[in-house]
């Protein structure tokens, strides 16, 4: 294929919306000949996520299959419009139906779909679009854990629904009832109990996705109208003051819970009471009971204050049990990941020696706070926490980890201290503080979750060649 680098990039832009990945194609001068050789996952080092690699291989296979069948050859490297018309219009428009964001061309859809062609009537009972066979098989097999946060199935499902809402119903701003209908449809499709919590989790997921899509459609007249109306100074919700407040919970971090019958629930609750009342349990029994009572703790965290949770579940004062819970929820051995990543990050980020008297974890926190122009005191201090969000307070060689101004757990290891701060966001299902860029950056690196990264963070990752691979993190846990 005699494509220039510019033509390959134009083709990539039709289904890749990550500027960082596009820039990698340009930086490495990927042309048609190179594209032909990118035929396996092992060769796709430009993509940070497995899902992105698989989607790219699918689109590449389709492109070369069409090239073989129809002898599509484009030699004019100066005309990107010709490329769009010959490849994007003839191929991608015919293939777009239920594909995810990474495989659909929104720009082509906007040009080819007029309002008269869009069904603007939202049904009384929303029906989930056709899903890929892999997702349907997981649903039938009851593998609902594959639709939890940080799993590819969840993102694919959300992408498909967002595509359907925007392109078939012209819905960038669904009403509250429509969000309820969509959340209900998802819960029924996944064969989950139709509870308020389950519906709310998926409503929030769709709302977050549509917010991002509205940015992509910022030239849309409806989006412009909303921005004009609500983006003026003083028109939005007031910023929350930290003093006297509690850390805000993030429903996106909630895992889905199974509804148990009354007898089973009583058994689980009795096990939780045994954990609370018997401090002399054997380690093996302790860990087994901790795993079996996860459901009860998750429900309590969503309905009770932090002080009530600590009173009912004193196990949260034990670092070992906290890390075990993170492993159950996120599938990652956080202690091992933190110990592995800290020296790597320090080596990549620090150009000249800085804060050399601090331990490596504290040194990394200071460097990141300086990098993102934020105060370190909301993450680490020697007196008392300045916000309800997780932080380390170091006194007499002991690190106390706080949340909601309460001391949750203590350790003498700085590595574990940082790991425990990150664990608090998982265990207590917390949002990040508004200006907490350092902690968001660390969370993304340690858990391999890039959705919390801002453009500035992505630029730093690109500049310092920092790798974010969930697969690597999970291998440590195996």
State pLDDT tens for residues 76-129: 333 333 333 333 333 333 333 333 344 333 433 343 333 334 445 888 899 999
Q: Is there a contact between 333 and 425 (Cβ–Cβ < 8 Å)? A: no
More confident residue, 123 or 254: 123
pLDDT tens-place string over residues 9-61: 888 888 887 778 888 888 888 888 888 878 777 677 788 787 788 888 888 88
| pLDDT class of 258 with cuts at 50, 70, 90 | low
The rounded percent of the chain whose pLDDT value lies above 70 is 79
Distance, CA of 175 to CA of 210 (rounded, Å) = 12
Cβ neighbours around 23 below 10 Å, total: 15
Measure the CA–CA gap between 63 and 47, rounded to whole angstroms: 19
Cβ contact 92:77 at 8 Å = no
Confidence bin at 232 (pLDDT 50/70/90):
very low
From 154, 149, 158, 148, select the one nearest 128 (Cα to Cα): 158
pLDDT in tens, 407-418: 999 999 999 999
What is the residue whose two structure tokens read 């967002």?
Answer: 162
Complete edge-to-edge strand list for the sheet that includes strand 398-403:
380-381, 391-395, 398-403, 406-411
pLDDT at 257: 61
* 134: three-class secondary structure by DSSP: helix
Taking the CA atoms of residue 39, residue 41, residue 45 and residue 51 in that order, the dihedral angle to the nearest 10 degrees is 120
Q: For residue 300, count other CB atoms closer than 10 A to its CB.
A: 15
pLDDT of residue 43: 72
Residue identified by tokens 């997780």 is: 390
Strands (E) across 327-411 are located at 380-381, 391-395, 398-403, 406-411
Per-residue pLDDT at 66:
57
Evaluate whether 132 touches 163 at the Cβ level (below 8 Å). Answer: no
Report the candidate in 90, 93, 87, 86 with the shortest Cα–Cα distance to residue 108. Answer: 93
Which tens digits make up the pLDDT trace of 327-381? 998 889 999 999 999 999 999 998 776 677 788 999 999 999 988 888 888 899 8
Fill in the DSSP letter of residue 249: B
H/E stretch holding 11: helix 5-13
Evaluate whether 104 touches 129 at the Cβ level (below 8 Å): no
424 neighbors 403 (Cβ within 8 angstroms): yes
Q: Are 158 and 209 in contact (CB under 8 A)?
A: yes
Mean pLDDT across 231-244: 45
Least confident of 97-101, 187-191, 255-259, 365-369: 97-101
Q: What are the tens digits of pLDDT across the range 431-471?
A: 999 889 999 999 999 998 888 888 889 989 999 999 886 64
In angstroms, how far is CA 421 from the centroid of its own chain?
Answer: 18
**Separation between Cα atoms, residue 185 and residue 177, nearest integer Å:** 12
The per-residue pLDDT for range 378-394, each reduced to its tens digit, is 899 888 888 999 999 99
Q: Count the neighbouring beta carbons within 10 Å of the beta carbon of residue 224.
A: 12
Q: Where are the beta strands (DSSP E) in 209-267?
A: none
Phi/psi of residue 409, nearest 5 degrees: -150, 155
The pLDDT value given to residue 72: 38
């Amino acid at each position: 294929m005699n494509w220039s680098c510019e033509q390959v990039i134009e083709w990539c832009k039709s289904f890749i919306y990550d500027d960082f990945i596009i820039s990698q194609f340009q930086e490495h001068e990927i042309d048609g000949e190179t594209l032909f050789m990118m035929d396996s996952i092992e060769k796709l080092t430009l993509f940070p996520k497995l899902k992105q690699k698989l989607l790219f291989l699918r689109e590449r296979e389709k492109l070369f299959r069409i090239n073989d069948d129809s002898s599509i050859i484009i030699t004019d490297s100066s005309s990107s419009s010709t490329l769009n018309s010959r490849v994007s219009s003839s191929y991608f428009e015919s293939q777009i139906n239920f594909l995810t964001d990474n495989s659909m061309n929104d720009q082509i859809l906007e040009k080819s779909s007029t309002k008269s062609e869009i069904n603007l009537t939202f049904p009384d009972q929303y029906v989930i679009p056709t899903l890929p066979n892999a997702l349907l098989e997981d649903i039938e097999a009851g593998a609902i854990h594959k639709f939890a946060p940080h799993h590819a199935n969840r993102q694919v499902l959300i992408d498909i629904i967002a595509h359907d809402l925007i392109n078939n119903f012209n819905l960038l701003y669904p009403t509250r009832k429509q969000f309820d209908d969509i959340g209900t449809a998802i819960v029924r499709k996944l064969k989950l109990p139709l509870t308020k919590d389950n519906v709310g989790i998926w409503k929030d997921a769709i709302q977050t996705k549509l917010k991002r899509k509205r940015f992509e459609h910022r030239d849309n007249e409806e989006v412009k109208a909303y921005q004009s109306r609500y983006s003026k100074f003083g028109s939005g919700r007031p910023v929350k003051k930290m003093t006297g407040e509690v850390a805000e919970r993030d429903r996106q971090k909630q895992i889905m819970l199974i509804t148990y019958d009354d007898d089973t629930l009583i058994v689980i609750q009795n096990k939780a009471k045994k954990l609370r009342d018997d401090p002399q349990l054997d380690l093996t029994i302790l860990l087994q009971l901790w795993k079996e009572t996860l459901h009860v703790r998750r429900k309590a965290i969503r309905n009770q204050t932090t002080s009530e949770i600590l009173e009912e579940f004193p196990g949260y004062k034990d670092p070992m049990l906290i890390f075990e819970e993170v492993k159950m929820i996120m599938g990652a051995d956080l202690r091992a990941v933190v110990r592995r990543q800290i020296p790597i990050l320090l080596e990549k980020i620090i150009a000249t020696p800085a804060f050399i008297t601090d331990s490596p974890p504290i040194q990394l926190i200071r460097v990141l706070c300086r990098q993102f122009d934020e105060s370190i005191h909301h993450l680490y201090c020697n007196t008392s926490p300045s916000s309800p969000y997780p932080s380390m307070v170091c006194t007499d060689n002991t690190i106390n980890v706080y949340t909601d101004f309460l001391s949750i757990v203590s350790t003498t290891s700085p590595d574990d201290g940082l790991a425990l701060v990150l664990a608090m966001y998982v265990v207590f299902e917390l949002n990040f503080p508004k200006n907490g860029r350092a902690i968001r950056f660390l969370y993304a690196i340690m858990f391999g979750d890039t959705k919390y990264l801002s453009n500035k963070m992505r630029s730093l990752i690109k500049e310092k060649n920092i790798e974010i691979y969930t697969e690597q993190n999970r291998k440590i846990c195996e």
